Amino acid sequence: MATETITAEEALAVHGAEAAGPGMPQLDVSSFPNQIFWLLVTLGVIYFVLSRFALPRIGAVLAERAGTITNDIAAAEELRHRAREAETAYDKALADARAEANRIVAETKAQIQADLDAEIEKADAQIAAKTAESQAAIDEIRESAARNVSEVARDVAREIVAAFGADADAAKVDAAVDAKLGERA
């Protein structure tokens, strides 16, 4: 090893003497200003580009993505909520409609019943009225018939009495006829 490195040392002494001085280029102070200057320039450029363009842009993209995801989740939640609401509303509407239908059925039934009752009542009343009227007419007819009978009977009786030649007192005859009729009646 030692001999080999001595060769290296000698080779370096010959080969690298003009550029790197005694050994490591890292320790060659004459190259430091160059490196430091260009390092500062590079760092300045990178810092400027990063702080002005790259980092705000990536930050914005990441924030936008996070926002999009959050919004999408919120929207999905909202939609689910709305679907559930719609379902309850539908159920409620159905129940309402059913109740309404029942109510209408009952109402109509009641209405029909009421109408029916009223009609029946009216018909009954009419019938009763007709009956009473007919009764009255019958009664009148009967009365008039009875009166006619008594008159006919009086007239007949008077004529018979007259035909028998008897000078009949009209009043007496009438009374007698009435009495006889009254027995029959």
Partner 1 sequence: MEGDIAQFGQFIGAGLAAIGSGLAAIGVGSVAANYLGGALRNPSAAASQTATLFIGLAFAEALGIFSFLVALLLMFAV
Partner 2 sequence: MATEAVALVEGEEPGGLVFHPFDQFEIKPLFGEIGDPVSWYTISNATFWMAMAALCVIGLLVIGTRGRAVIPSRVQSAAELVYGFVYKMVEDVTGKEGLKYFPWIMTLFLFILFSNYLGLLPLAFTPTSHIAVTAVLALGVFITVTVIGFVKNGMAFLGLFWMKEAPLFLRPVIAIIEVISYFVRPVSHSIRLAGNLVAGHAMIKVFAGFAAIAALSPLSVVAITAIYGLEVLVAGIQAYVFTILTCIYLKDALHPSH
Summarize as ranges the residues that interact with partner 1 (CB under 8 A): 2, 5-6, 9, 12, 22-24, 27
How many residues does the structure list for the chain?
185
Q: Measured from the CB atom, is 37 or 90 closer to partner 2?
A: 37
Does residue 2 bind partner 2 (CB under 8 A)? no
Does residue 39 bind partner 2 (CB under 8 A)? yes
CB hemisphere CA count around 141 (13 angstroms): 6
Does residue 71 bind partner 2 (CB under 8 A)? no
Contacting residue, 59, 80, 105, 130, with partner 2 by CB under 8 A: 59
Does residue 174 bind partner 2 (CB under 8 A)? no
Q: In the chain, what is the straight-line distance between the N-terminal and C-terminal CA atoms, in Å?
A: 176
Contacting residue, 13, 62, 73, 118, with partner 2 by CB under 8 A: 62
Instruction: Quote the least distance from Cβ 75 to partner 2, whole Å.
Output: 15
The Cα–Cα gap between 138 and 133 comes to 8
Give the residue among 2, 103, 57 at the shortest CA–CA distance from 10: 2
**Which of partner 1, partner 2, none sits in contact with 54, Cβ below 5 to 8 A by type?**
partner 2
Positions 111 through 150 that interact with partner 2 (CB under 8 A) = none
**Which of partner 1, partner 2, none sits in contact with 22, Cβ below 5 to 8 A by type?**
partner 1
Q: Measured from the CB atom, is 57 or 172 closer to partner 2?
A: 57
Instruction: Quote the least distance from Cβ 27 to partner 1, whole Å.
Output: 5
Interface positions with partner 2 (CB under 8 A): 3-5, 7-8, 11-12, 15-16, 18-20, 23-28, 30-43, 45-47, 49-51, 53-55, 57-62, 64-65, 68
